[in-house]
Amino acid sequence: DWTMAAYREEAIRLIREQVGDKQVICGLSGGVDSSVAAVLIHEAIGDQLTCVFVDHGLLRLNEADEVVTMFRDHYNIPLIHADEADLFLGELEGISDPEEKRKTIGRLFIDVFQKYAGDIDGAEFLAQGTLYPDVIESVSFSGGPSVTIKSHHNVGGLPEKMGLKLVEPLRELFKDEVRALGHELGLPASFIGRHPFPGPGLAIRCPGEITRDKLEILRKADAVYIDQIRKHSLYDEIWQAFVAILPVRTVGVMGDGRTYDYACALRAVTSVDGMTADYYPFTHEFLGETATRIINEVKGINRVTYDVTSKPPGTIEWE
């Protein structure tokens, strides 16, 4: 009779057996998979685990603080916060091509991870939150069998490059089982139920050139949108929801003045696995209320649109 409690015990036994008294590095993204892996491994081997959290400056409002607080302060897991926003945003300056953005971020991510992980003495293992679906077909999130739609951000190849052996305690689990395991390990429900967030972060929700100004506006608008979704109890019905800031400014009127600010697009989809998706049928009332709130609360945005494209032919992210 298979239970999550039994899985947890067995996984802990196997991690101890594999790792012995050696040091393990875990790349923490703040997502559910790497978080569950980190907490499980920490339970197995305690301070032999060090997490490296690469902060590329493309995270959502307060996200970096929340990750650091949860892991370092709440779970007492040794955590290196690699705050490299200046590096990433500097290198991304002037780049508008989506693939070039993705490749730049992927390359820097590996450099930064290697740099910080290299400081951890005697590390022999790299922990990853790889799931069963990633094992059976290295998930490409592409739209067709042979065309690459997007260069997927991952750290494949890193273990060999760094001469590390892999620890992958979630290899046999599906997403819903990882959530159940996270629950079993005491991770907060609000954290376990979080929508997926892409590795390249807000970079791919900011079509055109990325600037600090645009990122700040985007973070605020996104926070208002998600707050609206939570207030209307829609969060758990939606696979993923976010704002994209558009590379276009439009004319508006506020009070008796003219405005010339950015337009943004709201995105929300339902999906089973992210491979196909339908846009979420919000009511007009919800959309109108959300638009009003964003324009009133977020300086820099004066127009809100709703993206009614399903996948295919659209993709979930804008880039």
What residues line the site for ligand XMP (CB under 6 A)? 141, 150, 152-153, 196, 198-200, 240, 274, 311, 315-317
- The answer on whether 55 is annotated among ligand-binding residues is no
* Cβ-contact 113, 158 below 8 angstroms: yes
Sheet strands (E) in the chain: 23-28, 49-55, 79-83, 123-127, 165-167, 240-254, 257-270, 278-279, 301-306
User: What is the Cα–Cα distance from 33 to 130, expressed in whole angstroms?
Assistant: 7
Q: What letter would DSSP give residue 69?
A: I
User: What is the Cα–Cα distance from 249 to 305, expressed in whole angstroms?
Assistant: 13
Handedness of CA 62, 318, 193, 283 (dihedral sign): positive
Residue 138 CB, nearest approach to ligand XMP (Å) = 13
Residue 316 CB, nearest approach to ligand XMP (Å) = 3
Residue 142 CB, nearest approach to ligand XMP (Å) = 7
Nearer to ligand XMP, 12 or 139 (CB): 139
Nearer to ligand XMP, 96 or 140 (CB): 140
Which amino acid is residue 314, in one-letter code?
G
- The answer on whether 90 is annotated among ligand-binding residues is no
Nearer to ligand XMP, 132 or 141 (CB): 141
* Cβ-contact 209, 247 below 8 angstroms: yes
Residue 109 CB, nearest approach to ligand XMP (Å) = 10
Residue 276 CB, nearest approach to ligand XMP (Å) = 9
Nearer to ligand XMP, 189 or 272 (CB): 272
Nearer to ligand XMP, 18 or 276 (CB): 276
- The answer on whether 31 is annotated among ligand-binding residues is yes
CA 299 to chain centroid: 25
DSSP 239-256: SEEEEEEEEEEEEEEETT
Burial of residue 29 (CB within 10 Å: 0-12, 13-18, 19+) is buried
- The answer on whether 32 is annotated among ligand-binding residues is yes
Nearer to ligand XMP, 23 or 140 (CB): 140
- The answer on whether 33 is annotated among ligand-binding residues is yes
Residue 277 CB, nearest approach to ligand XMP (Å) = 7
> Which residue ranges are tagged as binding site for ATP?
29-35
> Which residue ranges are tagged as binding site?
29-35
